[in-house]
Each structure stands twice: as C-alpha cells, then as structure tokens.
Structure 1
Amino acid sequence: MTKWTVAHPTKLSFDTPVTDLHVRIINGTVNIVGTDAPEAHLQVSDIDGPPLTITHDDGILTVAYEDLPGRASSSGSTTRAGAAAQWSPSPSPHRPEWRWA
C-alpha cells in the first residue's frame, strides 16, 4: 500500500491501475475526468482544514480524512474542512466501480 498525507494542493500519478475509487470528504468537490494517458492522476486543488490521507492499495484509490472532521476536539471545538479534487482515470479494459460514502 502506498500512502500520502496531503495538506496543500498537489498532483499525484499512479503507475499501477486504479480500479476502484473511494472518497470520504466533507464540504468539497470531486471531479472525475477520463483521459487517454496510460496512468491515472489525482489533483488536489484546494484544502481547508486537516490534511487528506490518500492511499492506493491493490487497485483501490481512497481519498479521505484520517479522522473525519466535525467531531469535537479535546478543546471542545469542531473542525471544519473542505477539499476539491480531480481524478483522471487511465483507460482500462476494466470498468471502475464508483462508491460514494
């Protein structure tokens, strides 16, 4: 499994196929764009709040917060967060399965 912690806008490329995409963000936007490029790409264009955790494991790309915001912190305040991401899947004979959680 490959794991990234993303706190600022960034672009990632994946050399191995992405067959599933799992996204768990709050107050954000996700765009999925097809491409002819041989590899899949993920572009995080904006983050407001805690960093995103991105993992790629056995074809499953997950974009989420380590601990979903909105829970009360030890100080009693809540965390506000938002993110905008764009994913460009690589062409594949397999159709990705989209799951929105």
Structure 2
Amino acid sequence: MSITLLKPESYVNYTSKTKESCVNYTSKTKESYVNYTSKTKESYVNYTSKTKESYVNYTSKTKESYVNYTSKTKESYVNYTSKTKESYVNYTSKTRELCQLHF
C-alpha cells in the first residue's frame, strides 16, 4: 500500500474549492430560503385578500338574492291577491246575473 501525498499546491486548490463550494451552498441556501419565505408571504396575502373578496361577493350576492326574493314574493302576493279579488268579483257578478235571469 502506498500513500500518495498531495502537493501543497494541490492541497491549497482543494481547500479553496471546498471553501468556495461551502460558501456558494450557504449563500444559495439563504437566497432560496428568502425566496421561499417571501413567496409564502405573498401567497398568504393573495389567499387572504381573495378570501375576503370572495366573502364580500358572497355576502352581497346573498343580500341581493334575499332582496330579489322578498320583492318577488311581495309582487307575487299582490298579483295573487288582486287576481283573487278580480276572480271573486267576476264570480259574484256572474252569479248575480244568473240569479236575475232565473228568478
């Protein structure tokens, strides 16, 4: 078994490349972490604002729907009542007419 000794120049190159590699790895990891964190915050802010917007839209549509339903119900009731009255008046007047003809 033979042991190979590194030349001093080779050792220095190896050490400096290892340090450089470590520094690059560390700075890339920090950069990556910062990007991840800022994207996560941005994503959260977007999600939150969209959720609020969605809630506001839902609430306003629900109110609008309720108002439309209520006004249509009132309109329907008024129409029903007026038709019932009209029908009753017609029925009564026809009944009188018939009674007058027969008696």
TM-score for both structures, normalised by structure 1: 0.16
Determine which structure has the larger helix proportion and give its number.
2
Indicate the structure (1 or 2) with the bigger Cα radius of gyration: 2
